[in-house]
């Protein structure tokens, strides 16, 4: 089993994007997603692709890492492309055989949808996960949501839970690998047999995994109590977030990008149907 996951991993660096305020990044990503969904013409997608390239260059993340992160997406991409090519009806017939009709519009649609998915993934991961530590991310989220405290939603507790969950993902992956190896050493077989046999083969992994997860949670709770953790009430921060000019500029930049996209939508020879 391949447990190396590049998508969503933090890549250390010191670029402009790394240094942005996490709150600004969250807002920027939300705006960016809206902008990507606004784009409908080839010209607009061209602009967005250029913007994504600029984003990658600014972040200083090696393109190879980003390409590696796209790998798990291949199946979804292929699926949407095939679906669009064969099921979109248009006016210019390209190819016809029995019940299969391929229209030019379908091919265009497939290309643009695939591009949309890739752009979504690349720009959100460059803006957020590759360049922001999970801690900074939940910190930013907590502060953005802090107005909700007024209506008694435990924002701090939620963000603490999220931080802890994120923190323990690599630990759990490592633990799973260790346990799998230990059971493999005793001849466990996870890859052959009927579906039921394979499901049963997971028991020797899941039981130890759950036990250690509970044990870890218990130990963590004790450790936090030993350091007098009582929740968010009256808690001050070690890293106080400051918004800089660059954060405002980034958000304005994305709004301008959105305006550009809307404008370019008017000059498209072909428009995406959805």
Partner 1 sequence: MAEIELKDVSFIYGAGQPYEIRALDHISLTIGGPAVTGFMGHTGSGKSTLVQLLNGILKPSDGQVLLDGKDIWAEPKKIRDIRFRVGLVMQYPEYQLFDETVRADIAFGPKNMGMSKEEVDARVLEAARFVGLDETLLDHSPFDLSGGQKRRAALAGVIAMRPEVLVLDEPAAGLDPGGRREILTRIRDYQRASGSLVILVSHSMEDMALYCDRVVVLSHGKLLLDGDCASVFSQYETLLDAGLDVPQITYVAAALARYGIDIGRDVYTVKYAAQRLSEKLGGGAS
Residues within the interface to partner 1 (CB under 8 A): 4, 6, 11, 62, 65, 68, 178-179, 181-189, 203-205, 207-208, 211-212
C-alpha distance from residue 151 to each of 89, 141, 142 (Å): 49, 17, 15
Distance CA 134, CA 128 (A): 9
178 vs 244 by CB, closer to partner 1: 178
CA 66-72-76 angle, to 5 degrees, is 115
135 vs 209 by CB, closer to partner 1: 209
101 vs 216 by CB, closer to partner 1: 216
- Least distance from partner 1 to the Cβ atom of residue 182, Å: 4
- Least distance from partner 1 to the Cβ atom of residue 212, Å: 6
124 vs 183 by CB, closer to partner 1: 183
- Residue 39 phi/psi, 5-degree rounding, is -65, 135
- Least distance from partner 1 to the Cβ atom of residue 185, Å: 4
68 vs 156 by CB, closer to partner 1: 68
* Residues sharing a CB contact under 8 Å with residue 13, sequence separation 6 or more, in sequence order: 59, 60, 61, 131
- Least distance from partner 1 to the Cβ atom of residue 183, Å: 6
- Least distance from partner 1 to the Cβ atom of residue 164, Å: 21
- Least distance from partner 1 to the Cβ atom of residue 219, Å: 14
**Nearest to 81, CA basis, from 43, 113, 105, 52:** 113
- Least distance from partner 1 to the Cβ atom of residue 204, Å: 5
- Residue 245 phi/psi, 5-degree rounding, is -55, -40
Instruction: Determine the 3-state secondary structure of 41 from DSSP.
Output: strand
212 vs 265 by CB, closer to partner 1: 212
The DSSP code for 271 is B
Residue with tokens 């709004």: 255
149 vs 200 by CB, closer to partner 1: 200
CA 136-138-141 angle, to 5 degrees, is 110
Distance CA 165, CA 147 (A): 23
């Amino acid at each position: 089993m391949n447990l190396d996951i590049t998508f969503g991993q933090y890549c250390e660096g010191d670029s402009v994007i790394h240094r942005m305020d996490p709150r600004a990044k969250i807002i920027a990503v939300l705006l960016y997603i809206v902008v990507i969904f606004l784009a409908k013409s080839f010209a607009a997608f061209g602009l967005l692709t250029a913007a994504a390239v600029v984003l990658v260059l600014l972040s200083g993340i090696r393109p190879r890492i980003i390409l590696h992160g796209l790998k798990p997406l291949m199946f979804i991409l292929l699926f949407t492309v095939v679906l669009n090519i064969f099921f979109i009806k248009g006016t210019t017939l390209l190819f016809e055989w029995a019940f299969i009709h391929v229209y030019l519009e379908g091919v265009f649609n497939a290309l643009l949808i695939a591009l949309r998915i890739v752009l979504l993934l690349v720009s959100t991961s460059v803006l957020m996960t590759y360049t922001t530590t999970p801690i900074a991310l939940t910190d930013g989220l907590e502060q953005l949501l802090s107005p909700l405290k007024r209506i008694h939603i435990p924002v701090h507790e939620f963000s603490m839970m999220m931080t802890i969950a994120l923190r323990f993902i690599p630990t759990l992956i490592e633990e799973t690998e260790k346990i799998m190896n230990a059971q493999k050493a005793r001849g466990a077989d996870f890859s052959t047999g009927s579906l039921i046999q394979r499901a049963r083969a997971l028991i020797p992994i899941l039981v130890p995994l759950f036990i250690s997860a509970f044990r870890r949670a218990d130990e963590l709770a004790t450790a936090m109590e030993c350091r007098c953790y009582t929740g968010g009430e009256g808690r001050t921060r070690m890293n106080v977030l400051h918004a800089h000019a660059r954060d405002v500029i980034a958000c304005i930049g994305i709004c301008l990008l959105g305006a550009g996209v809307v404008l370019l939508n008017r000059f498209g020879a072909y428009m995406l149907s959805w």
